[in-house]
């Protein structure tokens, strides 16, 4: 298949993580298990938060939103990958590829923004505890989540519309397990300078901005915790944001690791393998991090499971 500039593009080919036939069954079982764990774990967090009145606070409102976005993020990429492995096919339609790219950008951006909002929530809770309920009120929570959805929507829409205007030619093979923006741009026939400029500007603003916000919030949090006289007070203050620190560290370390590794090596398959960390592994581990390190979540989970067991 070698369409030219005037040819209607019908499909792309997703080469996946590995083309070795002997590994396909292993990959199918591995990613199916990870996907089911991700969906079940995050869905359990959402149900637990919604069913327990003790968790109807801003912190857990943001957490349930993060869990929902994590389910959507993995559902954007993994089911198509599993289907291709099962049917021994690499094809994805042009419309399907653009849609996948759009939703991946949308939910990945939302993940980033929600982590930033959660950092702000912890900053107010620790640095301004007496004014927490006044500052972080339901109206502000709703506004912050709405703003996150709106900015993510506008970014993914802009990037997708710019890709729709590009002509493609040659072998439309994407050395990845999903339609990543950067990989698609490399297949375009015409110059993609404008697309790359927009992509890098947006990455700096929507990636660097939230990171700077998180770092600023935690610099204030650390400063406030250091000012606490008792060791018990310091531990109690730190424990309220320990889970969030773990999730943020995992998300940014894996994301930066992918882009640094892709800058060092030109091997696209290795980049695809590294991308599994922040697209699949991180959303899968988030529920475990919050449930294992958070007494409120563990207590609510026990009450929820007991309630459902008695209900049956």
For residue 264, pLDDT beyond 70:
no
What dotted CATH number matches 11-311?
1.20.1070.10
pLDDT band, residue 1 (cuts 50/70/90): very low
Q: What is the mean pLDDT of residues 223-241?
A: 79
- Each domain of the chain, given as residue ranges in start order, spans 11-311
Question: Minimum mean pLDDT among 3-7, 93-97, 251-255: which range?
Answer: 3-7
- Nearest 5°: the CA angle 105, 212, 114 is 45
Q: What is the mean pLDDT of the chain?
A: 85
Burial category of 165 from C-beta neighbours within 10 Å (exposed 0-12, middle 13-18, buried 19 and up): exposed
21 or 180: whose pLDDT is higher? 180
276 or 111: whose pLDDT is higher? 111
Question: Minimum mean pLDDT among 89-98, 146-155, 233-242, 260-269: which range?
Answer: 260-269
**Residues linked to residue 91 through DSSP beta bridges, in sequence order:** 13
């Amino acid at each position: 298949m070698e369409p030219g500039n005037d040819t209607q593009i019908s499909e792309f080919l997703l080469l996946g993580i590995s083309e070795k036939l002997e590994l396909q069954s292993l990959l199918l079982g591995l990613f199916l298990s990870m996907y089911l764990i991700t969906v079940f774990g995050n869905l359990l967090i959402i149900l637990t938060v919604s069913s327990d009145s003790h968790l109807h606070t801003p912190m857990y409102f943001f957490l349930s939103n993060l869990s929902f976005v994590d389910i959507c993020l993995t559902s954007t990429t993994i089911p198509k990958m599993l289907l291709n492995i099962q049917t021994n096919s690499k094809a994805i339609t042009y419309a399907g590829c653009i849609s996948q790219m759009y939703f991946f950008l949308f939910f990945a951006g939302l993940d980033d923004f929600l982590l930033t909002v959660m950092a702000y929530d912890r900053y107010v809770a620790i640095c301004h505890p007496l004014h927490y309920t006044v500052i972080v009120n339901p109206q502000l929570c709703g506004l912050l989540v709405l703003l996150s959805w709106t900015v993510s929507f506008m970014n993914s829409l802009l990037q997708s519309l710019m890709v729709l205007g590009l002509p493609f030619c040659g072998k439309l093979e994407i050395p990845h397990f999903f339609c990543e923006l950067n990989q698609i741009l490399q297949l375009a026939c015409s110059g993609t300078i404008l697309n790359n400029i927009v992509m890098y500007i947006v990455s700096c603003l929507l990636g660097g901005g939230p990171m700077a916000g998180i770092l600023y919030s935690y610099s204030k949090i650390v400063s406030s915790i250091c000012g606490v006289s008792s060791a018990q007070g310091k531990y109690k203050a730190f424990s309220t944001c320990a889970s969030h620190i773990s999730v943020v560290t995992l998300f940014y370390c894996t994301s930066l690791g992918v882009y640094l590794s892709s800058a060092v090596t030109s091997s696209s398959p290795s980049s695809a393998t590294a991308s599994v960390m922040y697209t699949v592994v991180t959303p899968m581990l988030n529920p475990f991090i919050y449930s294992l390190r958070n007494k409120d979540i563990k207590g609510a989970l026990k009450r929820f499971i007991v309630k459902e067991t008695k209900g049956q």
